[in-house]
Amino acid sequence: MENKSYELVEAFWNNWSHSLTSLASTAKQMEQFTLEAMKHQQESLQKMVQGLEAMEQEMKQHTMQAGAQYAEYMKQFAAGQFSSQIEEWQKKWNEVSQQMQQTSVSPAKVSLNALAQTAGQLEEAFKQVLSQQHSQREEAQKQMNQFMNELKTMQLELLRKTQEGAKQFLPSL
């Protein structure tokens, strides 16, 4: 009976200690999942920025090609009679197409760059907070383990004294 009581106290405090360790482990896993999600988000934003830049380059190239083909067609069609007018149209075409590109691509590009930068800053801030929490959590866990060991020792000592007192009291009856 005496050993069972000691084993029960040991099991109780070991379970508490294991529960605290499991909670700390779960918190660390959640931190890792969050960091991985932030990293994937950052990578996705970077790929979107790169895709938008590639699209912008293609638009410029196609616009230049279309303008050059149009100018060449007009020169052949008009046989040089309207060359100054064609050049003027070409300039306007280039201006309009450049404005179209800027109004269609630039806002998205600026937004994506801002999002990527903000996501990077958020990730760095989160890492700093995690670092602080990690050291605080380790210190708290160390203190909690020490406190639980003290409680367990006191409880085992109380159990031992109670059993000794019961042995002394029971034989006298």
pLDDT tens column, 37-83: 999 998 998 898 888 889 888 888 888 888 788 778 777 777 667 77
The helices-and-strands tally (H runs, E runs) of the chain is 2, 0
> What gap in Å lies between CA 126 and CA 41, rounded to an integer?
14
Sign of the CA dihedral with 120 first, then 123, 129, and 135 last: negative
Amino acid at 39: K
From residue 50, how far is each of 60, 69, 115, 141 by CA, in Å? 15, 28, 14, 45
Cβ-based neighbour number of residue 156 at 10 Å? 15
Q: What are phi and psi of 164, to 5 degrees?
A: -65, -40
In this model, does residue 173 exceed pLDDT 70? no
Higher model confidence: residue 156 or residue 106?
Answer: 156
Q: Write phi, then psi, for 94 (nearest 5 degrees).
A: -65, -40
Q: Which one-letter DSSP state was computed for residue 170? A: H
pTM exceeding 0.75: no
pLDDT in tens, 83-126: 777 778 878 888 888 888 778 777 888 888 888 888 889 999 99
Question: In the prediction, which pLDDT does 79 show?
Answer: 66
Determine the pLDDT at residue 72. 80
The more confidently predicted of residues 134 and 84 is 134
